[in-house]
A and B are shown apart, each in its own frame.
Chain A
Amino acid sequence: MTAYLIKNVSVVGAAPTDLLIRDGVVAEAGAGLTAPDATVLDGTGLVALPGLVDLHTHLREPGREDAETVESGSRAAALGGYTAVCAMANTSPVADTAGVVEQVWRLGREAGLVDVQPIGAVTVGLAGERLAELGAMADSAARVRIFSDDGHCVADPKLMRRALEYVKAFDGVIAQHAEEPRLTEGAQMHEGEVSTRLGLTGWPAVAEEAIIARDVLLAEHVGSRLHICHVSTAGSVEVLRHAKARGVKVTAEVTPHHLLLTDEKAETYDPVYKVNPPLRTAADIAALRAALAEGVIDIVATDHAPHAVEDKECEWAYARPGMLGLETALSIALDVLGPQWDLIAERMSRAPARIAGLEGHGLDPAPGVPANLTLVDPAAHRTIEPAELASRSRNTPYARMTLPGRIVATFLRGEPTVLDGKAVK
């Protein structure tokens, strides 16, 4: 195993130092390190972060390998600075059995670019009718701890209560896609002035807020852990703030796109901006940014959702919702939060690793810690070209935008997955 000596790197924003990576761990940290056998990387001007952890990734395999595979998604993740991603269950077949989650887990190991942690479905076939075999998935080789019907809301309150209760046996967490289905029938975009003007059926903020309000009360009632996927409205932030003040065990994520893009993007009718939950208003963005800084929202998660060209190059109403996110998330966070490295490390690595229960991830580079880390050049800017992305799909909403920050290198247990901004394999 090659050793790496990273010279003059700022660990999470601290004064520059050297890091020696050997045998899968950070062997030494400190100024003036030498290691004759090590490959030396000049870290001048770079920031070392604990490898990013994405709690919300769609890898599309099995079923839509034309849009993404575990391998291509893993490569996109590594290039984005990630060392672990949680793969959502809405594949085909659905990841609702031990067999499917083990398959995804094994494909992740074979790709070897990030740790792929499968998420299991809450209900059989995501149909919202009866519980999937949550315990079997928890006991499988994939050791599933997060369960989600993402893409669909667990709308039945009794089923949601039972799921929250049941996963306590193995310290599981239910990640809810908060969308009251009756209030969003046929919904195409945020319900507001723009939807009125465009004649597109609205997705009202209350459809998200009502489910979050219900579920924090359910989680409080049964004393379970609840995670809220892709929070998108100012009202949801207020519900979460209230719940956290009461001591409810709830965590929440926000996506990069909900921190940056507004519903006015729909005015082009280009479905690259169609996403679920939809892009909201500038006021929502301001509330989400404040909540992320404050900790009412715990993490940034990408909701990386690759789609084949034909599913986006069509009429808005017929397009599938979702956007790419893995290769641009850190840049958006840097753009939104500024160089607050400790905050970025907390929201994009430490906290998601804690929520997911991923051992060896979310730990700042220090002697003895598994060498899961990424090196960022904060001074660099890059213009996003869809064709240059590692994802199999091209549905980035940031095409031709110039964003700050560039991932220079990523290490997974001491092995580089990205060097010089390029995937190693």
Chain B
Amino acid sequence: MIRHLLSGADLDADTATQILDTAAEMATVAGREVKKLPALRGRTVVNLFYEDSTRTRISFEAAAKRLSADVINFSAKGSSVTKGESLKDTALTLQAMGADAVVVRHPASGAPHRLANWVDGSVVNAGDGTHEHPTQALLDAYTMRSRLGRLAGLHVAIVGDVLHSRVARSNVLLLSTLGAKVTLVGPPTLIPVNISAALAPGTDVSYDLDAVLPDVDVVMMLRVQRERMGDSYFPSAREYARRYGLDGPRMRRLPAHAIVMHPGPMNRGMEITPEVADSPRSTIVEQVANGVSVRMAVLYLLLGGNNR
């Protein structure tokens, strides 16, 4: 097993499949009356969050606790971080406290890579800047596999602000490793021209959502930050929604079996309408539940749970 999970590129097909299979076993725990396994008893998992992200933090927290690990939540707010402590000093502190795993969310791309140089424990990237968010890609893959029965050969459209999306980068890497085809859709300002060469050859780019929809098994809508408007990536939220938002009529262009995903939090009315978000095709709530199972699998496997 790998020591850190920093990027979707860290996972080969076997390792990724092992994580997804383990997650399926972990999911059975959620259905029990006592939702707990003793696998990581006595191990310490630190959630080091430099960005507010209640959703991801509680998902990792629940995952670690269901494996009986001791969980320390270290958030930038109200900690020594606001006093200007460097990432390295924080890392050395966590090291001294005996952290077996550090789950890190950070606004700077690559911060988890830096951290991995300074701690002995495993580092899990829980989202770094505009770089990657590998456990999100794993839970997305898990959700697709659960709903559609396979990953190889699926056609997945990822729609929106690919340029700034860590979710998109990790998904492109992982999905291509697992044999799915990805088409990135959005305005040209938000899709790097070299993305296929940079991440995964064979990744397609389209600027026309309507043309792509009839041909996909999965459409994944990315959150679009309204601030991007002020930076001239697109003229207005209204125009964005008209060209790249997923509404009812567009959803009906999808094949009957196709699913709609969103990593959350959603901007309802911007990239996705309530009709779509709340439709039976939507997996948005499932993704949250699957997130816990997948993160349990990641922590279990990284911390050597499979060797016991």
Contact = CB atoms under 8 A, between A and B. Distances in A.
B108 A318 contact: yes
Contact of B130 (A192, A199, A314, A316): A199
Contacts of B106: 315
A200 interface: yes
A187 to B, nearest CB: 13
A107 to B, nearest CB: 31
A196 B198 contact: yes
Contact of B114 (A199, A200, A269): A269
Interface string B112-151: 0110000000000000111110000000000000000000
Interface in A175-204: 188, 192-194, 196-201
Contacts of B131: 198-200
Interface in A264-288: 268-270
Given A314-B87, A317-B108, A269 B113 contact: yes
Give the residue among B88, B114, B199 with the most A Cβ atoms within 10 A. Answer: B114
A110 interface: no
Contact of B194 (A196, A268, A270, A314): A196
Contacts of A193: 194, 197-198
A314 B109 contact: no
A200 B111 CA distance: 11
Interface in B15-64: none
A310 interface: yes
Interface string B191-227: 0101101110000000000000000000000000000
Contact of A200 (B88, B109, B195): B109
A317 B129 contact: yes
A199 B195 contact: no
Contacts of B199: 196-197
A200 B195 CA distance: 13
Contacts, number: 61
Contact of A315 (B111, B192, B194, B195): B111
Contact of B109 (A192, A270, A310, A316): A316
A385 interface: no
Nearest to A201: B130
A68 B35 CA distance: 58
Nearest to B116: A269
Nearest to B113: A269
A42 interface: no
A313 interface: yes
B188 interface: no
Interface string A253-269: 00000000000000011
Contacts of B132: 199
B202 to A, nearest CB: 15
B86 interface: yes
B181 interface: no
B110 interface: yes
B166 interface: yes
B129 A313 contact: no
B155 interface: no
Give the residue among B86, B110, B111, B194 with the most A Cβ atoms within 10 A. Answer: B110
Contacts of B114: 269-270, 314-316
Given A199-B130, A199-B131, A314-B88, A194 B113 contact: no
Contacts of A270: 114
B138 to A, nearest CB: 18
Contacts of B262: none
Contacts of B113: 268-269
A314 B197 contact: no
Nearest to B193: A196
A272 to B, nearest CB: 12
Given A194-B198, A315-B110, A199 B88 contact: no
A131 B243 CA distance: 48
A268 B86 CA distance: 19
A194 B9 CA distance: 14
A394 B72 CA distance: 35
Interface in A287-334: 310, 313-318
A128 B100 CA distance: 50
Contacts of B65: none
Nearest to B165: A199
Interface of A: 188, 192-194, 196-201, 268-270, 310, 313-318
Q: For the complex of A and B, list the 10 residue pairs with the smallest distance between their C-beta atoms, beginning with the closest.
A: A199-B131, A269-B110, A196-B198, A315-B108, A193-B198, A199-B130, A199-B109, A317-B108, A196-B192, A269-B113
Given A199-B166, A316-B109, 8 more contacts: A196-B194, A199-B130, A199-B131, A200-B131, A313-B86, A315-B110, A315-B111, A317-B129
21 contacts: A192-B194, A196-B195, A196-B198, A196-B199, A198-B110, A198-B131, A199-B110, A199-B128, A199-B132, A199-B166, A199-B169, A200-B109, A201-B130, A270-B114, A310-B86, A314-B87, A315-B108, A315-B110, A315-B114, A317-B108, A317-B109
